[in-house]
């Protein structure tokens, strides 16, 4: 009956891990058809609200029928998509559109906290975009993700050595140990929320808790990577 804060994604996380092997086989054998089926399922969710039931009531917060599109799209891009559309995606017209959309998204997000900015958003735009549904991966959220991917593809070289240096190496470690890092982040986010509620919620406190949380997660993931590397250097007992 009780679910700790920020654990809504875990059921979807587990389901995607279990289903990724057969999905990857399908994408490697029939990449175009697999992506089309995934996109069609996503469209059905947007039209009919398909989801899975959650015990004892309600539905899954991160709807796997919708969020699966990101998983399939990523695998399809790595196997086939970048060869077909890599140069077109990184072209300046596409990048300019992506940057413009990210700027629009920033304004809309800030308007949720800044009342004068909210009043400046035309009513017809508000009626057009709201509600920006998160459980079913609203198309606006999907476009936001794709816009970020386009900008990164343009400005970050595929073999950029900077990815293996400094803080970015720490981010890679967190990605390599994603499940353990996520579980640690759940605990840290709860502690940070308590601090911001009980002690201070100033801008400085928010920056401090965010920086401390990121540093702690990077250190945690780095230690796990070091332990895993050390364990492989010793002979197995069994």
Tell me the pLDDT tens digit for each residue of 69-83. 999 999 999 999 988
| 155 secondary structure, DSSP code | H
Inter-axis angle of helices 139-155 and 92-111, to 10 degrees?
130
In tens, the pLDDT along 119-135 reads 888 999 999 999 999 99
C-alpha 69/C-alpha 146 separation (Å) is 12
Question: In the chain, count of helices (H) and strands (E)?
Answer: 11, 0
As a whole number, mean pLDDT of residues 195-201 equals 91
Task: State the pLDDT at residue 10.
Answer: 85
Residue 11's pLDDT band (cuts 50, 70, 90): confident
> Is the separation of the CB atoms in 181 and 218 below 8 Å?
no
For residue 88, pLDDT over 80 is answered with: yes
For residue 233, pLDDT over 80 is answered with: no
For residue 14, pLDDT over 80 is answered with: yes
Which of 95-104, 202-211, 224-233 is the least confident region? Answer: 224-233
Q: How far, CA to CA in Å, does 110 sit from each of 106, 107, 126?
A: 6, 5, 14
pTM higher than the cut 0.75:
yes
Q: How many whole angstroms from its chain centre is CA 146?
A: 11
For residue 8, pLDDT over 80 is answered with: yes
For residue 42, pLDDT over 70 is answered with: yes
> Is the separation of the CB atoms in 72 and 34 below 8 Å?
yes
């Amino acid at each position: 009956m009780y679910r700790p804060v920020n654990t809504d994604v875990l059921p979807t996380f587990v389901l995607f891990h279990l289903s990724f092997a057969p999905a990857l086989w399908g994408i490697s054998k029939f990449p175009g058809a697999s992506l089309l089926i995934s996109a069609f399922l996503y469209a059905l969710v947007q039209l009919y609200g398909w989801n899975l039931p959650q015990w004892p009531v309600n539905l899954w917060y991160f709807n796997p029928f919708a969020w699966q599109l990101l998983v399939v799209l990523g695998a399809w891009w790595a196997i086939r998509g970048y060869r077909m559309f890599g140069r077109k995606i990184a072209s300046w017209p596409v990048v300019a559109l992506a940057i413009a959309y990210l700027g629009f998204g920033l304004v809309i997000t800030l308007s949720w906290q800044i009342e004068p900015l909210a009043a400046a958003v035309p009513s017809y735009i508000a009626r057009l975009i709201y509600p920006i549904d998160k459980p079913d991966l609203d198309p606006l959220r999907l476009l936001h993700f794709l816009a970020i991917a386009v900008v990164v593809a343009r400005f970050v070289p595929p073999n950029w050595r900077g990815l293996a240096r400094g803080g970015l190496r720490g981010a890679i470690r967190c990605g390599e140990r994603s499940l353990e890092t996520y579980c640690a982040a759940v605990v840290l986010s709860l502690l940070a929320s308590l601090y911001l509620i009980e002690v201070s919620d100033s801008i400085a406190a928010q920056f401090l808790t965010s920086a401390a949380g990121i540093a702690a997660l990077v250190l945690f993931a780095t230690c796990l990577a070091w332990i895993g590397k050390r364990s492989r250097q010793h002979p197995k007992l069994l």
